[in-house]
Structure 1
Amino acid sequence: MSEKHEEIVASQSELQHEFNIQRIYTKDISYEAPSAPDIFHIEWSPQVDLNLHTDSKKLSEDTYEVILQITVTVKLKDKTAFLVEIKQAGIFTLKNFTTDQIDPMLGSFCPNILFPYARELISETVCRGSFPPLYLAPINFDAFYHEQLQQRKNAS
């Protein structure tokens, strides 16, 4: 193998993307059932309102914390059955990514990893509150990320 070829191979391997999950954790959780126990006697035909927010911050050179915040409010008629708010977080390492690549990773890829943990915790919390399980549908975080980008552009 020629010296130039070895240099090219070495430089390519140095620039390979490296993505690692360092930790996934629940940062905050809140549950309220303000209409209990009266709400248990009302026929279960819930109106579900889901609010979603993502945030991230740089912890060190290649390490980021990503927070997925989900608030679910479930009402029966005009009464709030329950309210669950969760902040599911993760610490991720992203090495050899360009600035243009990091933003979608933090705004879409990482929240996609966090969502199943948040969904499970929300469902478990709701069941412990003596309500039927709440199964949240999958979320297209790519579309959510692009929607947030568009909102930022429109705001400026």
Structure 2
Amino acid sequence: MMAEEEAKTDGTQPPQAPQMRVLGQFIRDMSFENIMAQKGAPADATPDVQVQVNLDAKKRTTENQYESTIKLAVTSKVKDNDATLFVLEIEYSGIFHIENVPEDQLHPFLLIECPRMIFPFLRRIVSDVTRDGGFPPLNLENIDFLSLYRNEIARRQASETPKMDA
């Protein structure tokens, strides 16, 4: 007898595979400041680009719908004198329909898998905005959302651990 048939005869259902659909994507908030144009920084400056990433997720009012947001803060400065060339801040969100994900796995799913799905679209927007802002297109490196999630969990646990006096 096959596993499916066995499950039917004893009254239990086999576990169903997780399902995820992207229902929509959008820019929640964006700001781009071309400081080089405002202050007249040299056009041949060598940039040093810093990228900060934050993630957020929340349940929506519709059943099985969630919103996951990637927040980027990109700062480009001149390597030699630390003068700012541009600042880009963007919050990019995806709306997801998610089913069959166990409750204890939903949090990492929303902060790892969902951002992984929408990141290529965010990368394209960042490239277009920096190019349209008068700079070479900024092609973001891939972000390891699993590592980012683990680091944040470790940071939170370390900050919650009571400190012992020596």
The normalised TM-score by structure 1 is 0.88
Letter in 1 for 2:96: F
Whole-angstrom distance in 1 between the partners of 2:101 and 2:53 = 26
Q: What residue in structure 2 maps to residue 56 of structure 1?
A: 57
* Pair 26,10 (structure 1): closer, same or farther in 2 beyond 3 Å: farther
Q: Which residue of 2 aligns with 1:124?
A: 128
Partner of 1:145: 149
Matches within 5 A, 1:1-20: 5-7=7-9, 11-12=13-14, 15-20=16-21
Aligned counterparts of 1:112 and 1:16: Cα–Cα separation in 2? 19
Where does residue 90 of structure 2 map in the other structure?
Answer: 86
Cα distance change, pair 5–143 in 1 and its aligned pair in 2 (3 A): closer
Does 2:50 align with 1:46? no
Q: Does the 8 Å CA contact 2:18/2:99 hold for their aligned counterparts?
A: yes
Paired residues for 1:92-103 under 5 Å: 92-103=96-107
Counterpart check, 1:74 vs 2:76: yes
- How much is the aligned-residue C-alpha RMSD, in angstroms? 2.2
2:146, 2:82 → 1: CA distance?
34
What one-letter code is carried by the residue in structure 1 that aligns with 2:17? Q
- Cα separation, 2, equivalents of 1:28 and 1:126: 16
Question: Per residue, is there more helix in 1 or in 2?
Answer: 1
> Aligned-pair distance for 1:78?
2.4
Q: Structure 1: which 5+ runs fail to align?
A: none
1:51-105: CA deviations, max 9, x gaps?
A: 1000011114311100100010001132111001111100111212112211111
Task: Give the aligned partner of residue 163 of structure 2.
Answer: none
C-alpha contact 2:7 2:13 (8 A) present in aligned 1: no
Residues in 2 aligned to 1:55 and 1:78: alpha-carbon distance in whole angstroms: 30
Residue equivalent to 2:31:
30
8 Å contact 2:21–2:97 — kept in the other structure?
A: yes
Tell me if structure 2 keeps the 8 A contact 1:22–1:93: yes
Shift of 1:21: 1.0
Alpha-carbon displacement from aligned partner over 1:25-74 (angstroms, at most 9, x marks no partner): 111111001231512x3423111111100001111431110010001000
2-structure distance, mates of 1:48, 1:89? 23
- Give the superposition deviation at 1:8: 6.0
Distance 1:62 1:126, change over 3 A: same
Equivalent residue letter for 2:77: K
- Worse overlay, 3-12 or 86-95: 3-12
Q: Which moved more, 1:64-73 or 1:29-38?
A: 29-38
